[in-house]
Amino acid sequence: MQGRKILFGITGSVAAFKVAGWVSSLVKEDAQVTVMMTEAATHFVTPLTFGALSGHQVYTDMFSIGAEEMMAHITLSGDADAILIAPATAQTIARLAQGMADNLLSAAVLAAAAPVVVCPAMNTKMLAHPATQRNLATLQELGYLIVEPESGSLACGEVGSGRLAEWETVREVLQRLFAEQDLTQQQVLITAGPTREALDPARYLSNRSSGKMGYALARTARRRGAQVTLISGPTNLPVPPEVNLILVQTAAEMAEAVREHAPAAHIIIKAAAVADFRPKEVASLKIKKQDADLQLDLVPNQDILATLGRERRSDQILIGFAAESNNHEDEGRRKLEAKKADMIVVNDILGKRTGFDVDTNQVTLITRDGAEQLALLSKEETANSIWDKVMTLGKVAKNEAE
Ligand code: CTP
């Protein structure tokens, strides 16, 4: 979002208060946000709030004759990278669908070359009305991006569809607009998170993987245009938008899901922390203290990455992770060979800002051509750097041509 110029249009819905948080999130991510409000919107939240949050003047009136606002509808949209209209009322949606220019917001949209993202928010019946549906369809035909409202309890007391979408969903749509679409036509398969190997109905063996790195890979791949299947062990993470998520518990379930989905994939990334072993027996009833044998018998799980390395087609790109506490590069190289991967991403699990459950990472990318250490980055930035590297591996262009 850094440096992106977002023209943020706010219209007269109760949900206007929610987007105060969106403006401040964008500003935190170093976007330049300029807010314009319809007259109705100013009855819900004052321009002062958005002025303070965005750090810029808020535009409300096309006919104000202050020097700064002269021709505001042209100048505002002229240099915007994206126009975001949220919440968008039925009234504003109808205005835009008609191509009207009777207030600053609609005139600015009409004068814009930038992509327009519309986030409807209204009463369920207003949303379902054929007129609104027709207007939304018209906007879609005109190339506007509509972020579907969610279902839930609405300010009017009704329960149904019409609630303003969550910021995470909208942020993702904006990110996609700004991302290079270099993974279009790529089918990507990613595994993420830990696996859980049951001991009895109450207990399991697992590890400290949060799944954050794998989910960041899934989100960024989707943003860059890929079709993404994410096979995930148990995590507390939100589902990445527009990703085919398959939830599993055990290594055996993960292996089965990978076996099913791998043939269609051009690129496979095994970011999951798969348990190497599982208990030999799973007790059907809870093991009691007095009955417990203090010895735990384990049997090995299938090495999913190594199996893929043996069985994959030569046009598929295969990438593994290696969570290491010492001898990072040597271990990475050993796993590259042993598992017949095209790249191993080596993680330092002992680093304070690179280990489990943190938002940053510092990895080394090991390929047959050498090793490249990345800087300490957020997991999303690390994921993007991994995709940049994947693009250099030489097989992606071939897939595109097919
Ligand atoms: N992996 C896998 N199936 C397993 C174990 C690991 O697919 N049963 C994959 C992981 O998803 C990761 C890579 O293999 O991409 C390396 O995992 P890691 O745990 O670092 O390596 P191991 O092979 O388990 O080696 P070691 O325990 O000796 O470090």
Locate the domains of the chain by residue range.
5-178, 187-281+295-401
Q: Is the CB of 323 under 6 A from ligand 1?
A: yes
Res 67: pLDDT: 54
Q: Give CA–CA dist 215/220, Å, rounded.
A: 9
Return the best residue to mutate from 189, 277, 304 for the ligand 1 pocket (most ligand atoms within 8 A of CB).
Answer: 304
Q: Give CA–CA dist 80/7, Å, rounded.
A: 6
CATH of domain 5-178: 3.40.50.1950
The answer to whether 242 and 163 have CB atoms below 8 angstroms apart is no
Which residue has the least CA distance to atom 27 on ligand 1? Answer: 276
Q: Is the CB of 303 under 6 A from ligand 1?
A: yes
Q: What is the distance in A from the centroid of ligand 1 to the CA of 367?
A: 17
Res 401: pLDDT: 42
Q: Is the CB of 219 under 6 A from ligand 1?
A: no
Amino acid at 291: D
Give yes or no for a cis peptide into 87 (omega within 30° of 0): yes
Q: What is the distance in A from the centroid of ligand 1 to the CA of 222?
A: 25
Ligand 1 atom at minimal distance to the Cα of residue 306: 7
The answer to whether 220 and 387 have CB atoms below 8 angstroms apart is yes
Ligand 1 atom at minimal distance to the Cα of residue 272: 11
The answer to whether 166 and 244 have CB atoms below 8 angstroms apart is no
Scanning the structure block, which residue is given the tokens 């109450």? Answer: 202
Res 351: pLDDT: 79
Q: What is the pLDDT along the chain (402 residues), one digit of tens a residue?
A: 889 999 999 999 999 999 999 999 999 999 999 999 999 999 999 999 999 999 999 999 877 656 566 667 777 888 899 999 999 999 999 999 999 999 999 999 999 999 999 999 999 999 999 999 999 999 999 999 999 999 988 777 778 889 999 999 999 999 999 999 999 989 999 999 999 999 999 999 999 999 999 999 999 999 999 999 999 999 999 998 889 999 999 999 999 999 999 999 999 999 999 999 999 999 999 988 887 777 889 999 999 999 999 999 999 999 999 988 888 889 999 999 999 999 999 988 887 777 777 888 899 999 999 999 999 999 999 999 999 999 999 766 544 444
Q: What is the distance in A from the centroid of ligand 1 to the CA of 251?
A: 11
Annotated active-site residue in 14, 27, 40, 156: 156
Which residue has the least CA distance to atom 17 on ligand 1? Answer: 322
Q: Is the CB of 272 under 6 A from ligand 1?
A: yes
Q: Is the CB of 223 under 6 A from ligand 1?
A: no
Ligand 1 atom at minimal distance to the Cα of residue 305: 7
The answer to whether 23 and 3 have CB atoms below 8 angstroms apart is no
Burial class (CB in 10 A: 0-12, 13-18, 19+), 299: exposed
Q: Give CA–CA dist 306/310, Å, rounded.
A: 6
Helix (H, G, I), strand (E, B) or coil at 307: helix
The answer to whether 119 is a known catalytic residue is: no
The answer to whether 346 and 374 have CB atoms below 8 angstroms apart is no
- How does pLDDT run across 70-91, given as a tens digit for each residue? 667 777 888 899 999 999 999 9
In this prediction the pTM is 0.85
Res 70: pLDDT: 62
Q: What is the distance in A from the centroid of ligand 1 to the CA of 376?
A: 23
Which residue has the least CA distance to atom 18 on ligand 1? Answer: 322
Q: What is the distance in A from the centroid of ligand 1 to the CA of 400?
A: 30
Tell me whether domains 5-178 and 187-281+295-401 share a fold.
yes
Tokens of 67: 């020097």
Question: Is 187-281+295-401 in CATH node 3.10.20.30?
Answer: no
